[in-house]
Copies of this chain bind each other. A is one copy, B any other.
Amino acid sequence: MPDIEAVTPEKDGLPVVDVKEDHDLHPADMADRLENLPVERQAEVLRSMPKERAAQAIAELDENSAVGVLERLEPGVAAGIVDEMDADDAADVLDGLKEGHRNALLRNLPRESSEELRSLLNFDPDSAAGSMNIDLILLDRNLTVDEAIAHMRSEMEDTETPYYGYVVDERSVLQGVISVRNLMLAKPGTIVGDAVKGQAVVKVTFDTDRREVANVLSHYNYLAVPVVDYDGHIMGVVTYDDVMDIIHDEASADLLGMVGADPEETVDTPWLESVRKRLPWLTINMMNSALSACVVYMFEGSIAQMAVLAVLMPMVANQAGNTGQQALAVMIRQLSMSRFDHRKAWMAVLREAKIGSITGAFMAVVACLGVWAFTGTFAVGGVMGCALLCDMLLGAVAGGSIPLIFRALGRDPAHASSIFLTTITDGAGFFIFLGLASLVLL
């Protein structure tokens, strides 16, 4: 058994009243314990904690819980805690507050903090600026390496991520990045501006999509990537811990988006909000399946003559749907994992077509034999096999192409893709199977 005890103190085994007394508790564990309390009690505990500890705990709560408890606190108390939070974490929570609560809280903050937060709140939360940290260590390009080390030592305590120094000119334009490690390894007396000269700085502009930011940082295995404006002035950094959250959110967002749930939905989302968000997609799904039903309706006469068609028809559609979803999942993963490469993407559709043909041919033979044995008529089995092969091939190609088409239309490649796929595989499956059956069997 893994040494889980050392890692995950069993929540239920611990007396929750300890939350505010145990000063050695990691903020993330403090937040875990808080989340197990009713919200009134959470507010009570936070009120009685030192503000700094309360701020750390709120930063680690999940967003719904953090918003809930801040709305429960008096604006003055809430502002006192928020003022101790890192600006990027504070902005994330404030973004979730109802407008009245947010404004009351901002009015209770010192002028400088409230202005800083208001400016962060203006950024798109899905952009680099929406995830960036504004506490970072700037190094004037004229400093020597030793002066830079001394400066970093003095700033370390107040900085969330003291691993890099950002070398800037007098107008705060980013010149280069230097790690603590490279500073320590550099020859004493070197000017930091010279140490980073010619460096191809990896940076992102403030409006870069956060998914792209995560790709950049994990591509290069950096701890942080600087965020700049259009003129190259440094605005902040996005750090590895934010990126871990982004990667996690985005990858599982695809899972939810694919079936038409809200990409941010969790089991903590209020259930009526989930109803409101899911209902439009269920309605679209209904309209789409009404389209497939129209196809069946066209062949109502054939079904009345030969009811076994209604027995076999859903099997064709279901099998092609599954084939298509496998292709869809592989393609969505590809699009989320790496930079888009046009040729590679369409080669992947070709790959799916090959997989669809072979799996389709295999299942067609199985189905043909099975149906022949079951109905005693080879022709029915033959029709079933042909329809299955065609629809599975179509499903594979559709599953591979839908995310690419959505992307080309400027939509999220994953969102509701499964719903549109099913429409195609159902509609086409019914049409091919019933059409062939009408031609051959009746």
Contact = CB atoms under 8 A, between A and B. Distances in A.
Contact of A366 (B256, B283, B308, B331): B283
Given A240-B223, A252-B337, A354-B271, A285 B322 contact: yes
A261 B326 contact: yes
A74 B180 CA distance: 39
Interface string A227-268: 010100000000011011101100110111011110001110
A351 B274 CA distance: 10
A223 B223 contact: yes
A8 B216 contact: yes
A323 interface: yes
Interface stretch (A40-48, A76-84, A299-307): A299-307
Interface string A309-334: 11111110111011101101111111
A256 B311 contact: no
Nearest to A199: B24
B4 A208 contact: yes
Nearest to A259: B325
Contacts of A326: 256, 259-261, 278, 281
A134 interface: no
A334 B274 CA distance: 15
A279 interface: yes
A100 interface: no
A436 interface: no
A218 interface: yes
A163 interface: yes
B204 A359 contact: no
- What is the total number of copies of this protein in its complex? 2
Contacts of A171: none
Interface string A254-298: 111011110001110001101100110111011001101100110
Nearest to A156: B181
B314 A293 contact: yes
Interface string A329-354: 11111101101010010011001001
Nearest to A322: B285
B311 A6 contact: no
A255 B245 contact: no
A204 B256 contact: no
B259 A329 contact: yes
A293 B307 contact: no
Given A3-B204, A267-B334, A289 B314 contact: yes
A119 interface: no
A400 to B, nearest CB: 9
Q: Which of A3, A240, A337 has the most CB of B within 10 A?
A: A3
Interface residues of A, number: 127
A220 B319 CA distance: 44
Contacts of A19: none
A133 interface: no
Given A181-B156, A207-B2, A209-B2, A251 B247 contact: yes
A303 to B, nearest CB: 4
A329 B8 contact: no
Contacts of A240: 223, 240, 244
A44 B166 CA distance: 38
Given A303-B303, A358-B275, A333 B2 contact: no
B157 A185 contact: yes
A422 interface: yes
A256 B329 contact: yes
8 contacts: A3-B230, A218-B248, A252-B254, A260-B326, A275-B355, A278-B323, A281-B322, A289-B314
Closest 6 pairs between A and B when the two form their complex, measured CB to CB: A251-B251, A2-B208, A310-B310, A267-B348, A259-B325, A3-B205
